[in-house]
Structure 1
Amino acid sequence: MGVLKKLIFYALLVLIWEAVFRLKIWPPYLFPSPEDVAKALIWGFKDRTFLIGMSVSIQRITIGYLISLVLGIGLGFLVGRFKILDETIGSLISGLQVLPSICWLPLAILWFGLNEQAIQFVIIMGAFLSIAIATESGIRNIPPIYLRAARTMGIKGIDLYTRVVFPAALPSIATGMKLGWSFAWRSLMAGELLFVSIGLGHLLQTGRELNDMPQVIAVMVVIVLIGLIFDQLLFSQLEKRLRSRWGMTT
């Protein structure tokens, strides 16, 4: 039933889009019809331009996101467990988190130049801070009874962290992973818009330079669809299962 509602909703959006197009409020080269965008989508996949762009972008975000996971979970874990780090690094993390990922681009260009390392830097800086904050929150909000019970049963040292602390923080970490993915995806698109390298963001920029609005919207559709697929099929399911496992569902 939920899928049917979504299909009806998106069909309605397309109908509204077509109606606005037919009103000719804007010229067709600025506001293309759904049919024009569909043709651009089909052509983009037919000549493999979109497939190549998707492959490059997904490869980039996979590398950057995995590095962000390691840095974010590791840093969040340390900040959550040690008060001195929370009072120092913790405040810095919170402050840097409010910076839009686009703000890291000038720094990336100066440090690395116009290359892959610069794009990876932007992805990592856009994603790992939110993962670190969520991990720190999960560690800090573990019910004290868990730790007392574990110590009573003789669990201590590394075992306490691997068998109690980390598993108990997993629901919050999963939320951070989901947020981190969203920020990483946005950061990647921002980076690819400015770098002359094949990718979905670059295809978006190419469409703008050629004044090809159907291609611009077609690429935007592909970007949104990829984001939704990863969010719904991976991160939302992971978060739901972990919350159910720990009795946090309503």
Structure 2
Amino acid sequence: MERELAGLDALELGGGPRSKLLLRAWSATWPMLVAVLIAITAWQLVVWSGWRKPWVLPGPKDTLPVFWDQVTSSPFWEAVGLTMQRAVIGFAVAVAIGVLIGALVSQFRVLRRAFGSLITGLQTMPSIAWFPLAILLFKLSESAILFVVVLGAAPSIANGLIAGVDYTPPILLRAGKVMGLRRLNLYRHLIMPASLPSFVAGLKQGWAFAWRSLMAGELLVRIGDTTSLGVLLSDARELNNTADMISFMIVILIIGIVVDQLFGAVDRAIRVRWGVDQD
């Protein structure tokens, strides 16, 4: 009887851990697969409509084999490696600067009044507008690209942290002070954990700005004989090789989606830990 009841409980709970993991993976995957099929279908319909010549806008049948050839070649992955190296370094520097600025501005009213609007203004400024200044300051170098990536991402990260601190419930602050938390300990053990959801949202938005800034930089700044995703994209455009160009654009899109999924996983983990969502 106990064995039968255990079997019924397993059925009611949806099976074991393995079946739950497979079900969760499938529920997360099938909407993206449907979206991909819809996008490819729409793409093919536009090609069949004759809106542009096939050599200007090739269809999936002509582009996807080129895409496969690109992702199976070692020079392509060397270019991806250089681009991702720049992205990780630029984003890490932006996080360090954004956290420092956000922590200071959120804690001192004078700094809030002096720099609060400036941070928002920097966030809304197109990253490509920084490149003339970056090239004048650093010439055609890695520093020029890093400069623009940091300026594109740091304001969003700082604003995310500031927003999280601003919306920390006052009752938590009073409870922390009653428990003896002051200044740095209060910020470390109470304010930072309470502001984590907004901070993660700021990190996600900061990455989006950093990625866009990096792609713009690689299109505009070519450093010696180095090859990156932006350089490959620019070369394909200059040679009117649309199939290669679309292939590189697909890779850039896929990288953006993968990073977004990573941030989504962190956000879900925070919601589960806070009891807002069930695992």
Short-chain TM bin: over 0.9
Counterpart of 1:97 in structure 2 is: 123
Which aligned runs of 4 or more in structure 1 are off by greater than 3 angstroms? 246-250
Gaps of 5+ in 1: none
- After TM superposition, the structure 1 stretch with the greater mean CA deviation from structure 2, 152-161 or 98-107, is 152-161
Instruction: Give the RMSD, CA atoms, in angstroms.
Output: 1.6
Q: Among residues 239, 242, 247, which one is paired with 2:270 in the alignment?
A: 242
Using CA pairs under 8 Å that are at least 6 residues apart, name the structure with larger relative contact order, 1 or 2: 1
Matched residue count: 249
Q: How does 1:203-242 map to 2 (within 5 A)?
A: 203-232=232-261, 234-242=262-270
State whether residues 81 and 140 of structure 1, in contact with CA within 8 Å, keep that contact through their aligned partners in structure 2: no
Partners of 1:248 and 1:85 lie apart in 2 by 34
**Which AA in structure 1 matches 2:49?**
L
Q: After superposition, where does 1:127-166 map in structure 2 within 5 Å?
A: 127-166=153-192
Distance 1:162 1:43 in 2: 49
Q: Which residue of 2 aligns with 1:49?
A: 75
Larger Rg: 2
- Does the Cα contact within 8 Å between 2:122 and 2:151 map onto a contact in 1? no
Compute the displacement of 1:12 (Å).
2.6
Instruction: Return the TM-score normalized by structure 1.
Output: 0.94
Cα 1:19–1:134 change in 2 (3 A) is same
Find the counterpart in structure 1 of residue 148 from structure 2. Answer: 122
Q: Percent identity?
A: 40
Task: Give the whole-Å Cα distance in 2 for the aligned partners of 1:154 and 1:163.
Answer: 11
In the alignment, what sits opposite 1:65? Answer: 91
Structure 2 gaps of 5+ residues are 1-26
Q: CA offsets per residue over residues 113-156 of structure 1, 9 Å max, x none?
A: 00100000111001000000111111111111111101111222
- Does the CA contact (< 8 Å) of 2:218 and 2:229 recur in 1? yes
Letter of the 1:86 counterpart: R
Partner of 1:61: helix, strand, or coil? helix
Deviation of residue 74 (structure 1)?
1.1
Q: Which amino acid aligns with 1:132?
A: A
Deviation per CA, 1:43-85, whole angstroms, max 9, x where unpaired? 2123323211110110001000000001101111111111000
- Equivalent residue, structure 2, for 1:40: 66
Corresponding residue to 2:203 among 165, 177, 187: 177
Give me the whole-angstrom Cα distance separating, in 2, the residues matched to 1:149 and 1:224: 45
Letter in 1 for 2:87: I
Deviation by residue 1:130-185 (Cα, 9 ceiling, x = unmatched)? 00011111111111111110111122232211111111111111111100111100
